[in-house]
Structures are given as structure tokens and as C-alpha cells.
Structure 1
């Protein structure tokens, strides 16, 4: 059997380490309820509370929105100086990347959360950070570092007496032993967790996880009946609470058990459910594990074509999730499939690639390091217990005599205290009442002060929003009504017979440019309004600047020829940048449209680009009339008035406002160089490659 089974723990770990119950139906309902409660006019503390719950609820629905709301409540927490919530937000942002198997980014945010929790002495946050960092290390096949992080978290949770996280850490340690093939040791850890969970009331998530883990260990210990029973019990619990991730895991385990029994058709039904759920969660890593099992079932049914297609897709997902272990599993499976088809040359190629990756994992040395590290922890705990027992035994005899003396003294002291208490009861009651009133008044004053500060801040924000709203309606009412009225009047003249078809056609040609200009303005206005109200979702990728420029030049070819302009694209075709393709396309289109609009006949427009450190600096220059210094000051905001192009085209400047917003969202900048009579150059700076932000 492949190393796939040894990777089982990695497939199940996230449901433990994130400390979240992924309940799809319940969570979707919860999301809708929370979104209804979210109000930007509420106090910051109230917004933080709801956004934090939204971030948790979106774990099962949309990991990207989980990141968005975690970032939003982080900003509010920073604004109000609540460091513990800043740390929690970083951890939630990391978990969002972990769900999507982007482990480098997850580890980056987990470390940020750890640093912030440590600075603010937020003990629970420190423990959560260690646990999540351990998860990332585990998935990256850095077992020794994962064990160290888990044990750090376990020690803190033991001091705090938090039972659920303690069980989760023990499960994670047992799962590492499972990965390394130490199934008996893993089973003893899982049994310990099951006993602990039974003592914790209403912990259905923990019970489902413990049963699933025991299903894994029993299957590897050659106990298929017990294994299947554990899996089915865990599936029943997870279906009851709507745990989408857990349902996928339990179905995967049942499917794998049927594969072991060579009942491949039954296995396929359960594996299809697991695959569907993991694709809904966008979890590439878990999807890869299920695809490998599916390919095994198809190979068992001798459906070689499907088996090979599924295994190739699994290899792609393994590489996308940066897992050497899964890459090795997929390569070994492809070797087996090709060998079954007597394609021995291909099989040898896959087998050699598998051996190279598998040797690099150095599993035996990792197993030794993990066992030694964990034994040190267990021996240290045992030595402390023995030492404590000896100390307690030695002191017990001394305590008996001391207790007798203390008892007599306490009786005497109790009599004195009773007399004193009776004498001062009324005075003490009066003092307590006065202190309570004083404290209540102080709390009311503090709360009023806080609310006044928040209301003042909110008023400023409302004034800004109101200004944007007024400007928006002013533009819509003034600049959309005019071309629409022209069209209305034109059609009325045609319908009443004042104009014939030929005259109507000639007037429509004259209005064509106005209509295109108004449509382009409306597109920009709607995009800008959407960015102001709903925010933007940036999907960056590597893009070729030259291709985007060329496409837009072709798009506006008729307008360019109409004015007799010369447009040159001097950008090297090999220059790439890391940004959202659609947003950069919108920026280029707007800048080119503006250049055409304000250029005179026979003017020239030039696109150029150069590399500067980690940025691409793109420029669009024109030999038009230029822009005055006064106009440049308000060029990128809605304070600018409407201008007119060289052929009477209207310029609303909403496009430049949108351009600035789009470039900022892509971690870039936009500037302008211009003098009257000397032309204009816009400079756009965007990242050369992916960077952590």
C-alpha cells in the first residue's frame, strides 16, 4: 500500500487544529443572521464582536470572506488598542490560508499572531499560535518542529486547565505517530482522548474526531470491523451537526476500508462524497488525498483510463499544495497504473521520481527524532510527579501536628472575629454601599466618555460618506440626464415624422461618440461606487503588460483613426507583473481613452515600461495640450469639474478616481507629470512578483 495511509493524519488534522466546528447548513444560516446584525454605525466593540463571529462562521462557507472579516476586525482592534483581538485576527487570517492549503502564508500569519500575543501577554493566544504553527509544520513534513510546537501548546493548556484544547493536542501528537507508522502508539493516544472526551459533556465535535482517529489506527492495526464501526459512528455525529469537513473525512475513511476489502464499488460512493465536500471547501490538499484513493478504487476495477486521469489530477493537486509526501504517493500510484497496463518504460520513470522524493523525506530519522522528543516530555512529566509525591509524603506527618495547633487558634480567632463582625457590621455595610455607588458612577462616566468619542468619530465618517453620496448623485443627475434627453428628443422627432430615416441615421452617427463616452463613464461610475460601498476582491496573477496594452489599442482603433493619432506600444513582451488582470485592463483602458480624448489631430501616444527594484513602472505619454497645476491637484478625486476633449468629448474624471483605487488595491501607485503645452505622462507602478502584504 502507498505512503498515502501514513498521510491520513494530515488529512484529518485541520479539523482539530483550527478549533472550529465546520457546520455548513448551520453556518450559512448563522452567516445570514450575523450579516443582518452588522451595522457600521454601531460602536467599534459591537462591530468587532460580530465580525469575529462572521470570520468563524465563514470557515465552512467561504475561506476568502473569513480572511476579509478577520482583517476588518483586526483594523478595528488596532484602532481601539485591543492587542489580544489583533493576535486572534492574525490567527484567523492564517487559518483562512490553511483551509486553502496555502501553508507558507498561513505560517506567516500564525507567527504574526504569536508575536502580538506574546507582546500583550495573551496566554490563550500564545497557546493557539503554537498549535497552529505546529499544524503548518506538520503539513510541510517538518515533524520534529511540529511536535515541539504541539508540546508548547499542550503545556500552556495544562496550566490553564482547558480540557478541549488538551485533547486536541494529544490527538495531534498521536496523529504524528500515525504518519510515521507507529500505529500502536498512535492508538494509545487516541484511546486516551476518547476517555477524556467522554468526561466532557456536549463535546460532539471532539467525540466525532476521537472516533475517526480510532477508525484510522484500528484499520492500520488489521481490525477492519472495529475500524468501520468507529468511522460510521463518527459519520453519524458529524452529519448530525453538519460538519462538512468531518463528513468528508469519515466518508474517506469508510471508502478506504472498502478498498482494503477490495469492495471497490462501495468505496467509490463514499469517496465521491468526500471529493465533493473538499472541493466545496477549496481544500487542495484534502482533495488530493481523496483523488489518490479514488484512483486506487478505479485501478481495482481495472478502469485504467479513469485511474490514470485521476492519478494525474492528484499529482497536480499535490504539487499545488507543496506536499512532498502526497507527490511521492501520486508518483508511486502512476507507476503502479502504468505497470498494470504493461507500459513499463513510463512506469520506471514514475518509480524513479517517486524514489527520489521519498528518499528526501528521511522518514526513519524523523521518526527517531519525534519519539526521542516526546519521550523527553513524558519522562520529564513522570519525574516531576515522583518528586511531588515524595515531597507531599514527607510533609504530611508535619501537617498533622500543625493542623491541630492551627485548629485551636482558628476557633479562638473565630470567636474574636464574630464579636468584631457584629460590632462593625452596620459600618461596613454603609461603606460598601457608598463604594458601590461611587464605582457605578465612575463606570457610567467612563462609558459616556467612550460613547461620545465613538459618536464623534462616526459623525466624521458619515460626513465623508454623505459628501461622496452627494457628489455621486450630482454626477448622475447632471451628466447622464443630458445625453438620455437628447436621445429621447431624437426618437420623438422621428416617431412624429419630423425626421426621416436618413436624417435620423446622420444624427445618430453624430451622437455615437456621446453615447460611447456616456456608457464608458457609467461603467467607471458603477465600478467606483461598488468599490466604495462593497470593497474589492483582488485576484492577482502574473500578467503580461504588453498584451493588455495591445488589446486596448485594438479596441479603440476606430477612435484613434478618427483623430489621426499615432499610438505606439514600446513595452517589452517579456515584462510581467503580479496584479489583478481585469483591474489593470480597466486602468489601461481609462488612461488610453483619456489620452485619445484630449489629444489634437496627428498627436502621438506612447506606452513604455521599465523595471525598478521589485516594481514595474509603466508610463503612457501623449503630446496633447497638457494639464495645469491646479487641475492636477484634484485629478484623482471627485472634486474635479467636468472637462471637454479636443473633439468636444466630455471628461468626467471618475475614471481616474477608479484607476487610483484599482492600483492601490494591487499595492501600486499612480502619478502624473504634465505641463501646459508640453503633453502629459501618467506613471503606474505595480509589483513585479508576489510579495507578502
Structure 2
């Protein structure tokens, strides 16, 4: 049983449909009239723009003009002029506003990536200017682009941020746009209850603002949500509201509404009404074509007549469908080519702007340089006079005393630093070098006393040799580091075969106390040349290899490899050792001495990695480490290629 009020609505709508079939021409006239109003307003603003003399007034007129002609091909030129003027006048609010509108222009040309970049630029400017309304619109526009990309969670995040800004300044217009767009995202996420509540709020706001066209847009969006929920009667009411508005004001929206009514009638089994609505849409389409909506109608009607067994009419709609598809295809091709043209123009304009900026920057530099030279000469002249006069006064003595005091303070700090270095060196010499030398001294005493057999003597020799070898590395590090701290180091850059240097140090370290049976692999390609100080590079490699030996066990692999990175060579030392605790990573290359025991409890001084870092930096390089505790370490350092 159909409710009486529903029957009444149906009768009324059929009556309206009948009137529309009779009075199509007045509808077209009304739409043309609306276009004429926009044209007249745009012409008036254009004349005012031509008459305006000041940049400030021109900017405000341009901002109004582009709003009226934003769908025309000429809009791009005026958008760019408005943006440049706003930038010149440092009006970040209007700069952001026009960049946002230009983004809408690009969006309509299907240049979505360019539009998104503009929205993000507008957001940055809006945040700098603090204009909350413009911040909200920028966030809203970015949310819309993510909706088009079907990144619905990201879109919702931007819409929610925009809502907060609109609510803070009670921007009703912004909230209308925000709630309408956000409801679509919520619908895609399956949150229909929230979506309906939000679109209802948008409709109430837009009705309060008397924005009838926007009310119709929101109602049409609500109709789509209601159809998804199966609430067909309420959806039909919203679609009819859009149709009644469109038939008076906007032919395109009338056809969009009829397209949705055809779909709805088919869903509810009212096939005859679907046919009537499709025929009415066809008549409106002949007055002002709307191919996209007609494609949807033709697809449905083709299927309806096919299901009815009327193959002739099914074929008719199939042919109409193909015609409209071809039209859409051609339009898309035109839009794509226009988009490419706009993109190329933008790139050319950007290039010219950069070139102009460079020229202006060069001119400013010349001006500043000239002014700087004049000012320098003036300062030097005045200073000369003042110094000459000051020599005759007692104040010069006080100034000299003050400078002497500062110099003494600086020398004191430097002496304290050098004293700290000296103490550390003496500590190392006293503890780390003393042990092997005592062992050697004891062995000599035993030999003198004839207390050692030949076999015992031979068994001690490798141990003493290893200890002395370790001391060699340590002593070399101490001497070089001390010299760098005291007087600095001189670099002699030459072309070095890195593979040869690495192999030399591998063979050297096989006889050190750090070697415990590990496998050292030289994986650096032959003829790999770097530009560095040869002695310093040897110390860097030897320190990093001995460090790897210290923290690995028997049969662990240590691999030395390299790769090119632009104009530099990166050398990589990887091991399978114990790794480094995360909390210790930051201490490795610090200014303080830091060391931990090796796998055989070998003691270190911490000087090796500090020296290594200094030597790498002296050779115009960088050093870093990657490690996971228990899974080995990889040290990298980068120096220039030969």
C-alpha cells in the first residue's frame, strides 16, 4: 500500500515533468540569462581593472575578476598576475586566496598534482599570515584532492583540521563546504550515520546563508548517501529539489538530477517513470549537452530495454551511448592537451621568474658590493683618524691591557686543553705501553740468568711480538693524534690504489695481538683510486680493521668493500662481531675517550676512533657506523675519488 502523501508527491512531480516537456525553451533562456549576468559583471570588473593605477587597488580588482571568469581560458593569466602582485605587496592573505583558486582552476583541468602543490603552497602562506579562514580552505582543498586519489583516511584528517579552523572563526560558508566534502569521505569509509548527520548540518548552514545553489549540491550528495542506505523516498525528495532548481537556473544540474532519478526508478522497479525521465533528459540535453550524465542514462536505458526484450530501442540507446562516449573522449583529449599547454606555460613562467630573480639578485649584489666598498672606505678612514688620535690618549693603554687580558684567558684555556691531552698521553704511556715493555724486560732478565730453555724462549717470542705490534699501532696513534692536537697536521694528497693499501694492512694485522683466527676479505675492486694523504689513509684503515679484529672471534668474517657515491668513494668495513649497544653509538666519535673490552678482554684507549674521525675529516671526508648489538657492525668512511 502506497501512502497517500507519496501518491500526491508523485502526481505533483508528473505534473512538473509535463510542464517541463512543454516549456524547455524558457529553461534554456534562464540559463543563458545567468551566464549573461556573469559576463556583464566580469566586463565591468575588467574595465575597472584597466582603469586602476595603484598596485594595491589592482590586486583587489583582479581577485574579484578571476572569481567571475575562473572557468574561462583567460583566467590563468589574471591568476598569475594577482599572485605576483600579492607577493610584491606582501599580502599573504590574497596571495594564498588566489593560489587556492588557481588550484581549483588546475583541478578542473584534471591537473591534480599541480593543484595539490598549489593548495599546499597556499596552506603554508595562510599559516604564515595567520588567516584562519584561508587556512581552513587550503586544508579543505587538500582533503578534496586526497578524496579524488581515494586516500580516504588522509582526506578525513585534512577535513577535520579544516573544520577546527572554520569553527574557531565561525566561518559558516567554510563549514558548508567542509561538511559537504567530509560527508562524502565518511560515506566511502562506511560511516553513513556520521555522513548523514554532517550533510544535514551543511544543508542547514547553507539554507541560513541563502546559498540555494550550494544547498542543492549538498542535498544531491545526501541523496547519494541515502540511496546507498536504501532510503529511496528521502533520496528522491532531494533529487527532485535539485531538478526543480536546475530547470530554472542550471540546465546541467537538471540533467544530473534526471540521471539520478532514472537510476532510482530502475532500482525501485518503476520502469515507466524511468523511461519518462530519460526522455526529458534527452530533450534538455539537445538544448545544452551534458554528455557525462547522459552516458549514465543511456547505459541504464540500454539495459532496461534489453531486459524488456525491445532490442530495437536497446540498440538505439547503445548507439547514443557510443556517440556520447566519443564526445567525452574528445573533450578529455582537449582538456588533456590544454592541461599540457598550461603546464608548459607554467614551467616557462617559472623559468622566466627564476631568471628574472637571478638578474635582480645580481643587480642587488652589485649595488650592495658598491655600497659595501664605499662604506668600508669610509669606516677605514674614520678608524684611521680615531686610532691616530687615540694614540695620544691614555685610553689606548687601557684598551691594550684589556686585549692582553683576553689573550691571557684564551692562552689559559688552550694550556688547560693541552694539559688534559698531556695527562691522557702520559696515562696511556704509563699503563698501555708499560705492560709489553715490562714483559720484554723480564724476558731479557731471564735470558741473562740462563733461566729459560730454548723451547721456552721460542714460545714467548710470538706473544712478545704481538704485544709489541699492538704497541706499535697504539704508539703511532698517540704520536699522530698528539701532533694534530698540538700543531695540526699537513695533508699531502696523492692518488692512492685503495685495494693495495687495504691488502697491505690486512697482512700487517695478521701478526698483531688482535688477530684470533678471523677471516679478513679484501673485496675492493682492482684499480680503485682515491685522492687522500697516503699515510693518513693507512692509519684510518688500520684502526678500523684492528677495531673489527678486537670485537670478533675466531672464524668471524671481516669484509672490506667499496662503492662510488657521486664524486666520492665510500669504503665499508663489515664484521660479524658482538656489535655495539645503541647507547654507546653516539660516544664512538665524540671528543671524550671511550673504549670497551674486546672478545678476549683486550683493553683499548679510545684514541683510535677519535683519531680516525679527525684524519677522515682532514681528508675532506665523513665517517659513520651502523650496528646492531649481537649482530655485528659496519663502519663507513667517505673520501674523494681520484
Instruction: Give the TM-score category using the shorter length.
Output: 0.3 to 0.5
Superposition TM-score, scaled by structure 1 size:
0.39
- Larger RCO, structure (CA 8 Å, separation 6 or more): 1
Bigger radius of gyration: 2
